[in-house]
Amino acid sequence: MSGFAQLTARLRLPLVAAPMFLVSGPELVTACCGSGILGTFPALNARTTSELDAWLGQIQEALAAAPGAAPLGVNLIVHRSNRRLDQDLALVVRHRVPVVITSLGAVPDLVQEVHAYGGLVFHDVATPRHVEKAADAGVDAVVLVCGGAGGHAGTLNPFAFLAEARRRFAGPLILAGALSTGRDILAARAAGAALAYMGTRFIATREARAPEAYKHMLVEAGASDIIYTDRISGIPGSFLKPSLVRAGLDPSRLHERPPGDIEAELARGELRAWRDIWSAGQGVAAITDIPPVAVLVDRLEAEYRSARDELCGDAA
């Protein structure tokens, strides 16, 4: 059995709670893994490498005491702008973190270091060209970040991206973008993905480190409230229009502003992208409450099973 198959056999549902800047902390990860799904967080959410060390210790201690808990994953930004990469990677190796999710750079040396202690590397991509680079680096699975996803989303339709990726990578594919329900997880599996990757849905949970107003905005929002723009962070991403309005920006006139201009305006008002301008994917219409993670995962599992039974019934 491959390392990836061994990992998925330990999951109650084929689901990853995706890493989210400022949102995913030890509480969310512990609750997700404790509920039987892969819980993850960006290493940079810990302010320093020593805080990351403390978080990993805290999460691993809690999971050791939770029978049947799923493994955890840490997201590393592999880019020269991340000055902490070497230190954070050394810590991930020391804690033998079961899954490392790399973003931006797929590096063979890093993959080998993680494989050496028996860990797996998932690499997050938004274009077919990056699937090729990930395959060359020897990663264990590729996360396809499709159009409509939260954060720095891609633009490809999930069916099109799965077909493109399949031509370039023989290993497991993980599907991301606007997935919010158990039925969506089943749909991702049916389309050929090994796992579903859900971000935005987990912001609207009790354990997420997001302001209450952000969580309530997700409950109120529909897909037309999401704007895809490079004006906020310099890279195209999905943001909640009502959070722009709250910060004094006019979403309909963003394109008139030169890149970087908004950052300066936000800084004058002491506002920041991600902290005050909130990101979300187009799957928000299916978010109607802010439950604890355990309640959400129970519901996702019930929806997944009932959708599967319904389809199996149709096929019979």
Ligand X SMILES: Cc1cc2nc3c(=O)[nH]c(=O)nc-3n(C[C@H](O)[C@H](O)[C@H](O)COP(=O)(O)O)c2cc1C
Burial 44-72 (b: 16+ CB within 10 A, else e): bbbeeeeebbebbeebbebbeeeeebbbb
- Binder of ligand X out of 199, 240, 287, 297 (CB under 6 A): 199
- Quick one: tokens of 275? 């902290």
Q: Which of 280, 82, 92 is nearest to 199 (CA)?
A: 280
Amino acid in the structure at residue 49: T
Choices 18-26, 107-115, 220-228, 246-254 (CB under 6 A): range interacting with ligand X: 18-26
Under the criterion CB under 6 A, does residue 158 sit at the interface with ligand X? no
Amino acid in the structure at residue 200: T
Under the criterion CB under 6 A, does residue 7 sit at the interface with ligand X? no
Under the criterion CB under 6 A, does residue 88 sit at the interface with ligand X? no
Distance, C-alpha 38 to centroid of its chain: 11
Choices 31-39, 133-141, 157-165, 277-285 (CB under 6 A): range interacting with ligand X: 277-285
Under the criterion CB under 6 A, does residue 15 sit at the interface with ligand X? no
Choices 25-33, 51-59, 245-253, 274-282 (CB under 6 A): range interacting with ligand X: 274-282
Tell me whether residue 76 or residue 307 sits nearer to ligand X (CB atom): 76
Amino acid in the structure at residue 153: A
Under the criterion CB under 6 A, does residue 75 sit at the interface with ligand X? yes
Residue with tokens 């599996």: 189
Alpha carbon of 139 to those of 16, 28, 174, 182, 193: distances in Å? 17, 26, 12, 27, 16
- Binder of ligand X out of 15, 176, 208, 249 (CB under 6 A): 176
Choices 49-57, 109-117, 144-152, 181-189 (CB under 6 A): range interacting with ligand X: 144-152
- Binder of ligand X out of 13, 15, 20, 92 (CB under 6 A): 20
Under the criterion CB under 6 A, does residue 281 sit at the interface with ligand X? yes
Under the criterion CB under 6 A, does residue 283 sit at the interface with ligand X? yes
Closest approach of Cβ 123 to ligand X, in Å?
Answer: 10
- Residues 100-129 contacting ligand X, CB under 6 A: 103, 124
- 207-212 long-range CB contacts below 8 Å, 24 or more apart? 207/27, 207/28, 207/30, 207/31, 207/292, 207/293, 208/20, 208/23, 208/24, 208/28, 209/22, 209/23, 209/24, 209/25, 209/27, 209/28, 209/45, 210/22, 210/23, 210/278
- Binder of ligand X out of 37, 97, 162, 179 (CB under 6 A): 179
Closest approach of Cβ 76 to ligand X, in Å?
Answer: 9
DSSP symbol at 285: G
| Radius of gyration, alpha carbons of the chain | 19
Per-residue x/- track, 201-240, ligand X (CB under 6 A): ----------------------------------------
Instruction: State the burial class of residue 79 (Cβ atoms within 10 Å of its Cβ: 0-12, 13-18, 19+).
Output: exposed
The footprint of ligand X (CB under 6 A) covers 18-21, 23, 42, 75, 103, 124, 145, 149-151, 176-179, 197-200, 279-281, 283
